[in-house]
Amino acid sequence: MNIQFTWTPALSVGDDKLDNQHKQLLEQVNALLDALAGGQNNLIVIEQVLKFLDQYIDEHFVDEERYMEEHQYPHLVEHRALHAQFIERYTHMKERIYTFESVDGMLIDLEVHLGRWWIDHIGGADKDYAAYIRTRS
């Protein structure tokens, strides 16, 4: 059993749509870790989850950036840069998933740079815009 990443109410950004996207993203990260731990037999599942994540991450970033823009969040540029940095690192990570060279190493990498990243990002930078928007409305 791998580490599981779970959304908690403490991670809420005060918007149902964005909260649901965060929940779904963490669930899919868990699904990816489980599928990867199962090895090559789970290649089809891995492909499905990655396909879903690719699309869903893009969608979430677009929605979230639009939300910050609508509320004139002053740190939108910095936040957008964090999203872009993530996409770059995630792209590299994905290339290595299919090699199955070191599944254990890959699992640790994904736990730290994918699962942990999402939890830290939601609980940090995302909560920052939520706090700003809350004080303005």
Q: Whose Cβ is closer to Fe ion: residue 64's or residue 114's?
A: 64
Give residue for tokens 């965060």: 22
Q: Whose Cβ is closer to Fe ion: residue 3's or residue 125's?
A: 125
Q: Whose Cβ is closer to Fe ion: residue 49's or residue 64's?
A: 64
Q: Binders of Fe ion among 3-62, rule CB under 5 A? A: none
Q: Whose Cβ is closer to Fe ion: residue 12's or residue 42's?
A: 12
SS3 8: coil
Q: Binders of Fe ion among 110-129, rule CB under 5 A? A: 126
Give residue for tokens 């872009």: 84
Residues in contact with Fe ion, counted by CB under 5 A, come to a total of 2
* Closest CB to Fe ion: residue number: 126
Residues 6+ apart with CB under 8 A from 34: 2
Chain-centre distance for alpha carbon 59: 11
CA–CA separation, 54 and 23 (whole Å)? 16
Angle CA 119–14–18, to nearest 5: 60
Q: Binding string to Fe ion for residues 67 to 106, with x set by CB under 5 A, is what?
A: ----------------------------------------
Give residue for tokens 């995302």: 126
Which parts of this chain interact with Fe ion (CB under 5 A)? 64, 126
